[in-house]
Amino acid sequence: MKLTRLAGECEKGTCPTVYAVDGTEDLIIQGYVVNDVEALTTIQLPDGETAVRIPASLIRRIVP
């Protein structure tokens, strides 16, 4: 799977980042793991999914 970096919170290193999956319309989001029980109960994630937390400013960078 080839990824293209669209936007990140830092120039280099490991920080919240949005990637495009080449050849698809999918995105991969790198963020902070959500461990808050109340938040996870609200979301009700099905098997095979997870939740990550990212700054809203990161999404603003990729939306025209």
Of 54, 51, 50, nearest to 15 (Cα)?
54
Q: Around Cβ 36, how many Cβ atoms within 10 Å?
A: 12
**What is d(CA 61, CA 43) in angstroms, rounded to the nearest whole number?**
25
pLDDT digits (tens, 9 = 90+) for 13-24: 789 999 999 999
- Cα-flanking dihedrals φ and ψ of residue 63, to 5°? -95, 125
Whether pTM > 0.75 for this model: the answer is yes
Question: What number is the average pLDDT over the span 26-37?
Answer: 96
Query: What's the order of all strands across the beta sheet hosting 17-21?
Result: 3-8, 17-21, 27-30
The rounded mean pLDDT for the chain is 93
Is a pLDDT exceeding 90 seen at residue 48? yes
